[in-house]
Amino acid sequence: MKKTKKEENKKKNNNYAWVAKLAIMAFTISFVFSFVSEISLKNANLFISIIVVLLFIFIGIIFDMVGVAITTADEAPFHSMSSRNKIKAAKVAVILKKNADKMSSFCNDVIGDICGIISGSAGVVIATNISELAGIPFLYATLITTAVIAALTIGGKGYEKTFAIKKSNSILYAFAKTISIFYR
């Protein structure tokens, strides 16, 4: 069935609206995460700085896993759970799955990328502390810190992708169950 010009234009406009919303969400979340990072790292010692960076890496990995799971999950079991048992989380899972492209963009690109950027910029605090404590040049401390953050992020996301594909329905359901608390 061929789409009319009106339907094609509506789809384009919806896509533009989604991209605009995505940009606004990215700005807002980035602002909040940066604020939290700056406040918590302002006078933090090395241990606290490492914990904050690991937290941002972990959040990025988790949301990347959720984005992959939503994309690869099977919608049918959630329809069944939703209709037979009236499970709220299953209804939310169906909504998430029906919007897999948008949810994947949000989870992987907005949250995942922001966490990568914030953890990288927070790495400067760690590099400064390492440089001062160990008495090594700041350049070397920065190179080591950046390499460790990149390795943890990429390694974590590489591992979670395989896990997310294998356990996509379970991950989607757990995520849907968590956010169904806030869903009307």
Per-domain boundaries in the chain: 5-179
pLDDT for 132-151, tens place per residue?
999 999 999 999 999 999 99
Using alpha carbons only, give the angle 102, 90, 101 rounded to the nearest 5 degrees: 10
* Helical ranges in 73-112 per DSSP H: 76-85, 88-98, 100-104
Phi-psi region of 135 (alpha: psi -120 to 50; beta: other; left: phi over 0): left
pLDDT for 42-90, tens place per residue?
888 889 999 999 999 999 999 999 999 999 999 988 888 877 767 888 8
